[in-house]
A and B are shown apart, each in its own frame.
Chain A
Amino acid sequence: MNNTIIIGSGPAGLTAAVTCAENGVDVVVIDEYMIAGGRLLGQLYEEPNGSWWNGIKESTTLYEKAINLGVKFHFNTAVNNIEQSNGLWVVYTEKDTFYTSNLLLATGAAESPVPVPGWTLPGVMSVGAAQVMTNVQRVKPGERGVIIGVNVLSAVIAMELQLAGVEIACLTLPKRNRITMKAGDPRKVLDSLLHVSHMAPSPFVRYGSKLMKNDFMKKLGVNFYPKKGVKMWDIPIQLRKAVTKIYGEDEVEGVTLATINADGEVVSGSEEHIPVDFVCIAGGLYPLAELAAVAGCPFYLVEELGGYVPLHNERMETPLEGLYVAGNITGIEGAKVAAAQGTTAGLSMAHRSGIKGLDNTINDSIKMTEQTRNSAPIQFHPEIEVGRKKILQQWEAYQSTKRESICY
């Protein structure tokens, strides 16, 4: 029997573990990976102020802090089910079954697939897999690759791959179909890039984004988008080209790249072959909420947060007694926001464990999460605030129906 169990040792889970332990609460952390850090491990980028954010260093610091505070870790341990029984949460893993009063789901996000003909060939991987291979395992995914899918995450990882000496032939779009939809529409992709364009090192993109504030200019921007693409960190970003096929006998040998019009339709006869030895698929992230679903937690679909999100309030409580969420399971945002949410979740669990006098600290931590969100240089979704409001409204609506049903 445990007081608190945290599933996931990424920025949210680690921070929550440290917060609980600092408040004198016993904590066990379970993670399916072999080391702590989660998605922090892959991160290596330059901050707007010129300093470098090294995810591995950040996670080691947090992990050592947790160990020194007496937090227990179980790595290589996948949780396959959770259920509520007699007021306790039961956590099933392949090795052991755990029991706890407070359970935090900090399981993060998963990558959305983007289907491309030939994508089952060896050498095709998600962009996150290429990031982990390069930054964590220190193995090159290949010598020269193409990234299919243009978004914030793929642009950052392209730069990381380049730093590691891996050549990226280009970032380009997937061919439009009923699954890729927005990701294959140059206008929609340009739209989603405009809000992060202040981060672009190229003066062309920076200057260009100011001209593209209205839709007419956006269309013009896509129509006149340079045929050779715009370079970011010397990597061509192609919004007017799409991969129609990945080819190769037993493994990736190259991709067929075609010119597309402003609506995303392939211009026939424009196909060219680009030889590469690996391909990254970048479909973006969605909240990984499987455990909340098997527990029976109510959900709501919020596009701005990346998909179906378990209902929760600002204290990171779910409608299920003793079940908490923090990090990307609540919506796709950066590691710093995830960590801030982890602090709140840790404090909420300590409060429920009977630690007195935490109310002000909890309120401060909620404000801190908002501040962290507002000062983040990159938003994965431009309307993240709208998404956060939607989920809070749904929480309120759920609570009031529950109150009514108790009254009658």
Chain B
Amino acid sequence: MKEDEMIICRCEEVSYEELETAAAKYKCSARELKLRTRAGMGYCGGRSCRTMVDKIAAASANDQNRTCVSLKYQPPIRPISFENLGRGR
């Protein structure tokens, strides 16, 4: 396996090359990089690849916002069944 082909986002199967290409082309924020490639949008909620997506974006964009997290956290932050999610709300 070549470096370009290695998987960064396991849930959505996004490769290093896809992220690098998008970051180089759009010089965008981590959030935009996520929306363009779907890295971090899988069922783990970005728990595995969040910091890597952040680093690739920071390396190209260079305008990291220090006062709020670059990729938003959404509840539920742990996997939960629909049945349990709806219960008692």
Interface residues of A (CB under 8 A from B): 32, 78-81, 92, 94-95, 97, 110, 112-113, 115-120, 175, 177-179, 181, 244-245, 283, 286, 289-291, 293-294, 298-301, 307-308
Which residues of A lie under 8 Å from residue B49 when comparing CB positions? Answer: 113
Q: Is the CB of B64 within 8 A of A301?
A: yes
* B64 vs chain A, min Cβ distance (A): 7
A78–B66 alpha-carbon span in the complex (Å): 29
A116–B49 alpha-carbon span in the complex (Å): 13
Q: Is the CB of A178 within 8 A of B77?
A: no
In the complex, whether B62 has a CB less than 8 A from a CB of chain A is: no
Neighbour of A92 across the interface among B1, B5, B8, B75, CB < 8 A:
B75
Q: Is the CB of B75 within 8 A of A178?
A: no
In the complex, whether B52 has a CB less than 8 A from a CB of chain A is: yes
Which residues of A lie under 8 Å from residue B25 when comparing CB positions? Answer: none
Q: Is the CB of B55 within 8 A of A293?
A: no
Q: Is the CB of B77 within 8 A of A80?
A: yes
Which residues of B lie under 8 Å from residue A120 when comparing CB positions? Answer: 6-7, 10
| CB closest residue in chain A, given B72 | A293
Q: Is the CB of A298 within 8 A of B1?
A: no
> Which 7 A/B pairs are nearest by Cβ-Cβ distance?
A81-B75, A80-B76, A293-B73, A301-B66, A78-B78, A290-B77, A117-B1
| CB closest residue in chain A, given B16 | A115
Q: Is the CB of A117 within 8 A of B5?
A: yes
Interface residues of B (CB under 8 A from A): 1-3, 5-8, 10, 16, 20, 47-49, 51-52, 55-56, 59, 64-69, 72-78, 80-81, 84, 88
Known A181-B59, A301-B66: A81·B76 in contact at CB below 8 Å = yes
Q: Is the CB of B77 within 8 A of A81?
A: yes
Q: Is the CB of A113 within 8 A of B77?
A: no
A113–B9 alpha-carbon span in the complex (Å): 11
Q: Is the CB of A299 within 8 A of B51?
A: no
Neighbour of B3 across the interface among A92, A175, A298, CB < 8 A:
A175
Which residues of B lie under 8 Å from residue A293 when comparing CB positions? Answer: 69, 72-73
Q: Is the CB of A117 within 8 A of B6?
A: yes
A283–B65 alpha-carbon span in the complex (Å): 23
* A1 vs chain B, min Cβ distance (A): 15
A97–B87 alpha-carbon span in the complex (Å): 10
A to B CB contacts below 8 Å, 30 in the list: A32-B78, A78-B78, A79-B78, A80-B76, A81-B76, A110-B47, A112-B51, A113-B51, A113-B52, A116-B6, A117-B1, A117-B5, A118-B1, A118-B6, A120-B7, A120-B10, A178-B20, A178-B55, A178-B56, A245-B1, A286-B51, A290-B77, A293-B73, A294-B73, A294-B77, A298-B68, A299-B68, A300-B66, A301-B65, A301-B66
